[in-house]
Structure 1
Amino acid sequence: MKDVAARAGVGLKTVSRVVNGEPGVTPDTEHRVREAIDALGFRRNDSARVLRKGRTASIGLVLEDLADPFYGPLSRAVEEVARAHGALLINGSSAEDPEREQELALALCARRVDGLIVIPAGDDHRYLEPEIKAGVATVFVDRPPGRIEADVVLSDSFGGARAGVAHLIAHGHRRIAFVGDLPRIHTTAERLRGYRAAMEDAGLAVSGRWVSLGPTSPDRVRAAVTAMVTGPDPVTAVFAGNNRVTVTAVRVLADVGHPVALVSFDDIELADLLGITVVAQDAAALGRTAAQRLFRRLDGVADLPSRTALATTLIPRGSGEIPPPADG
């Protein structure tokens, strides 16, 4: 650092400010310092920073499924915020297994990450209480934590589902199916609640045959959708509870032989080209908001845990506007 300071004609403190992204340096001075850094091949010593500040400049992200397209923009947004704060992001997948989530989160803590962002798979997060008390900042995203108070950033699953089903009702549908994920998952429960609220708002009773919850495996979803659209008193519209349900539902409805309306909670790739009406979440905003909240905690903000719900957007593209048959 002394060599950089000498070459740029500035003090050590100025070099430190540039390296650590701190304010108080003019653009011209920052340019000279960065030129000196490049010329001398200077690299910041993060080990020294850990000893000096007691932090590792790393955060952990526990996702549900690394292969799920929804989590790509979320993870990238978290990484961008972390990078802007000079921190490294380490992520892993719980595969929707509560035990694996706990194992992964505690392994990240054992490696002394400064903070955690967790998409919960389980419903009891008291195992993180000792880590939080020890100073590991923790924010939950997409779903709330279980049995502890902590910051959480969510999409408005209830409001989004209510709007999506109301859209189908406004286009004449009265027999509307809901096909969702496992009932223990918070987002599933909230979207089902929104579906029921929209039906109740319209004075429509819900048949037990119109609701199917369970794993999002193609076989299970295919069987559920097929039974609903071809069985006795078939539904005329389907509300798909997430992107994985939607992909299978699109394939089933393409082979049914008669038009069935569809609204998806979650946008999917090529949905615009396929004309699929969706209730879109902003996955990048979820990740960015959660990461910003995490770094506020790491910067010493000690206010009460907050709950932030981001709005969803209904995007009509055609599939949700298909009218029911004359007798529907």
Structure 2
Amino acid sequence: MPRAVDATGRSGRATMNDVAAHAGVSLKTVSRVVNGEAGVLPSTAERVSRSIAELGFRRNDSARQLRTGRAAGIGLILEDVADPFYSVLTRAVEQVVRSHNCLLLTGSCDDDPDREQELALALCSRRVDGLVIVPAATDHSYLRHEISVGVPVVFADRPPINLAADAVLADNFGGARAGVHHLLDRGHRRIGYLGDDPSIYTARERLNGYRRALADAGIEADERLIEMGRADPPSVRAALDRMLAAPNAATALFCGNNRLTMAVLRGLAGRIERPALVGFDDLELADLITPGLTVVAQDPAGLGRVAATLLFDRLAGLTVAPRRIVLPTTLVPRGSGEVPAP
């Protein structure tokens, strides 16, 4: 399978010249087929299309920019750029990318696996030099070809599935375990847990940390005090009504992410009896709530910065085995998690 040096000067990607030679046509003919222009016989267009598929050619939409000296591009795909957690992560990636005189192209996949794949392949077709992905997909083997032709990929926040690649994660298990231990140390034995969809890696890890902390204290988890799923207000209110009902009410709550923490705070508004509360992820203005919100804080800036640094290591030619880096979390006591058990 022929391969040549593309417009970026990096080997490993088929070019239009490769396709022309493989199909036995002129470069202009390949250009017309790639750009959907008229003037090509159907049989010739079919032959060119077969060569494109066999060679794994992708149109280099950024080649003109690179030839004129404009910065190369790095792609970033995450759940929702509007989420404060991902906004901080994005900013950190951007700072590293800028320091390497590159541009950052960002897309939100809304936790949709199909959208993630669509965005990733679209960015690769525009010849980004590498990708940082906060994954939603349950199978990342679709990226094997891209990696094999020289596009490094680094995963942040969640690890890849069915793909060997660098990953930067938070200590979800250890952070949740520490947060629940903090409540146990205040005498709480009935601790409710509200978490995200358990199919999500971070949600599973945090739930496992919650269970381990209870087991450390010799407490069997009560499944009636565990709610995994959506963070919409009606669902959270229903979960709170169940968990806080006498006679075996939860005296403390642990929330698995910032969206759930916000929904719980709204659900608790107006209640006379307020359980102790610890949330995973920090919130803006969390110190201004009364009492201040105790959290297990991640480091989204660290996740973004380290992920981008690993990516540029690969672009610089590093060929070591895929790396997995786990960043620590920090317990931040502010008052809500220090309420003693009744």
Which of 213, 233, 236 matches 2:248? Answer: 233
In structure 2, the residue matched to 1:280 is 297
8 Å CA contact 1:259, 1:322 repeated in 2: no
Distance in 1 of aligned mates of 2:137 and 2:86: 18
1:214-229 matched pairs, under 5 angstroms: 214-229=229-244
- With the length of structure 1 as denominator, give the TM-score of the two structures: 0.82
Q: Indicate the structure with greater helix content.
A: 1
8 Å CA contact 1:265, 1:279 repeated in 2: yes
In structure 1, the residue matched to 2:13 is none
8 Å CA contact 2:140, 2:160 repeated in 1: yes
Distance in 1 of aligned mates of 2:334 and 2:284: 14
In structure 1, the residue matched to 2:194 is 179
Q: Secondary structure at the match of 2:83?
A: coil
In structure 2, the residue matched to 1:310 is 327
In structure 2, the residue matched to 1:64 is 79
In structure 1, the residue matched to 2:66 is 50
In structure 2, the residue matched to 1:294 is 311
Flag the 1:169–1:149 CA change in 2: closer, same or farther, 3 A. Answer: same
8 Å CA contact 2:130, 2:152 repeated in 1: yes
Distance in 1 of aligned mates of 2:220 and 2:63: 63
1:155-170 matched pairs, under 5 angstroms: 155-170=170-185
Which of 211, 214, 231 matches 1:196? Answer: 211
**Cα displacement string for residues 264-294 of structure 1 (whole angstroms, at most 9, x for unaligned residues):** 0000111111100000001101000000000
Listed as ranges, the gaps of 5+ residues in structure 2 are: 1-61
Distance in 2 of aligned mates of 1:206 and 1:246: 21
Aligned alpha-carbon RMSD (Å): 1.7
Q: Secondary structure at the match of 2:154?
A: strand
Flag the 1:209–1:125 CA change in 2: closer, same or farther, 3 A. Answer: same
**Cα displacement string for residues 24-71 of structure 1 (whole angstroms, at most 9, x for unaligned residues):** xxxxxxxxxxxxxxxxxxxxxx96783599x96100000111221111
8 Å CA contact 1:156, 1:309 repeated in 2: yes
**Cα displacement string for residues 117-158 of structure 1 (whole angstroms, at most 9, x for unaligned residues):** 000111100000001111111000000011111000000000
Q: What is the CA distance between 1:323 and its match in structure 2?
A: 1.2
Count of equivalent residues? 279
**Which is worse superposed, 215-224 or 92-101?**
215-224
In structure 2, the residue matched to 1:245 is 260
Which of 267, 281, 301 matches 1:266? Answer: 281
Flag the 1:107–1:49 CA change in 2: closer, same or farther, 3 A. Answer: closer
- With the length of structure 2 as denominator, give the TM-score of the two structures: 0.79
**Cα displacement string for residues 279-310 of structure 1 (whole angstroms, at most 9, x for unaligned residues):** 00011010000000000100111111000000
Which of 119, 129, 138 matches 2:144? Answer: 129
Which amino acid is the alignment partner of residue 312 of structure 1?
T
**Which is worse superposed, 246-255 or 294-303?**
246-255
Which of 80, 88, 101 matches 2:116? Answer: 101
8 Å CA contact 1:56, 1:112 repeated in 2: no
